[in-house]
Amino acid sequence: MNILQISSASSFGGGERYVVDLTNALVARGHDVYVAVRPGSPLPGRLQLSPEKIVTLPLRNALDVQTARELEKFVRRKAIDVVHAHMARDYSLASYAARRNRQTKFIATRHVLFKLNRLHRHTLARATRVIAVSEAVARELRATQIVSNDRIAVIHNGIDVERYSKTCVGLDRESFLRSLQLRVDDPLVGSIGELRTLKRHDDFIRAAALVLKEFPETQFVLAGVGEIREQLEKLVAELGLADRFHFLGWLDDAEKLLCAMDVFVSASETESFGLAIVEAMAAGTAVVATATEGAKEVIDDQQTGLLVPIGDVKRLAQSVIDLLQDPEKRRRLATQSAQSAAQKFSLTRMVDAIESIYLRREDEITLR
């Protein structure tokens, strides 16, 4: 098939990882895939596409008429079978491009829980399917009645599980930790994610201070970039954690860090799915996460991870302490979480389901 993916993302997060992994997997399956991005996009360097397959357009907003027309011409010229949009501001542009070419399907993926507006009711009315990355996202779509229920397909995010297992097996942990200037023999507790307020990394930092009272040799790491790094660094200094809490910035080999951790922590206020949580599970790392809608879908509490109330710093810290105190429990959770990730959240499973939608094999679509 001829497929056009559209993403106006200007930073790289879970939704952008989804676009990259989906695109590369579709190319490997023999599809002819193009990706429309805005100038300065973080996607091209990660896509296994030749330069002529990447279309750079302004993609300013949902009312960018000129870009919509350019997309429509491109879809017609390349005989695109499927236009797949991944951000709310891109839905109307993708819808227009597909509408003017009757043989072209319009697919939208909804990655977040934030409410859509009335414009999207009109735009998504033309979608063949709206893919929700979790049941939580699907519930939000149903509650707002933006999309009719029969056109919502729940397809959980998928990750390349084998990549994580192979990375962990082949990792020289000591050398890797030394490359990050981290101590080799100390327990390592960490988190990965954009440095945004909604991720509540400040709760993670406050929990670290409590954990250190019980396990003073523990070191903590936070990988990611974002607008509140300076604010978080100030909190670390105020709590006297500077020699134990490390900001790692952006890591191209974040899977190695997950493999090296003893405990992964997600203190987020909201997660539509929790991609970093599933990546930690695939790496065979014990997880402590706040009970967001997304985390509750991927973690079976006390079986494949530990769930704590959102904003409860003491419970967050105590759960980490419990796992550091009980290596056997930590190993059990890690093993079971890796098995769960492989069974439920593989990239192959996700791409199979999306490809079925593209090909209209609706009897094969995994809806739940």
Give residue 363's pLDDT: 44
Strand order in the sheet with 263-266: 245-249, 219-223, 188-192, 263-266, 286-290, 306-308
pLDDT digits (tens, 9 = 90+) for 159-212: 999 999 999 999 999 999 999 999 999 999 999 999 999 999 999 999 999 999
Average pLDDT of the chain to the nearest whole number:
94
Is the model more confident about 316 or about 365? 316
Q: Is the pLDDT of residue 103 over 90?
A: no
CATH T-level fold of 2-158+346-364:
Rossmann fold (3.40.50)
Q: Is the pLDDT of residue 53 over 60?
A: yes
Q: How many CB atoms lie within 10 A of CB 216?
A: 9
- What pLDDT does 367 receive? 42
Check pLDDT > 50 for residue 368: no
Q: CA 163, 169, 173 angle in degrees (round to 5)? A: 110
**pLDDT, average across residues 60-71:** 94
> What is the domain partition of the chain in residue ranges?
2-158+346-364, 161-344
pLDDT, mean of residues 254-271: 97
Query: Tens digits of per-residue pLDDT, 215-253?
Result: 999 999 999 999 999 999 999 999 999 999 999 999 989
What pLDDT was estimated at residue 332? 97
Structure tokens at 78: 């390349």
Nearest Cα to Cα of residue 264 among 346, 339, 207: 207
- Report CA dihedral (199, 204, 206, 211) to the nearest 10 degrees: 170
| pLDDT at residue 365 in the model | 45
Asked if 2-158+346-364 and 161-344 have one fold, the answer is: yes
Superfamily of domain 161-344, CATH level 4 = Glycogen Phosphorylase B; (3.40.50.2000)
pLDDT in tens, 337-351: 999 999 999 999 999
Mean pLDDT of 258-279: 96
Q: Measuring CA to CA, how many Å separate 67 from each of 38, 84, 311? A: 10, 16, 42
Give the Å distances, CA to CA, from 112 to 109, 270, 274. Answer: 9, 9, 10
Beta bridge pairs of residue 78: none
Mean pLDDT is highest, among 11-20, 32-41, 100-109, for: 32-41
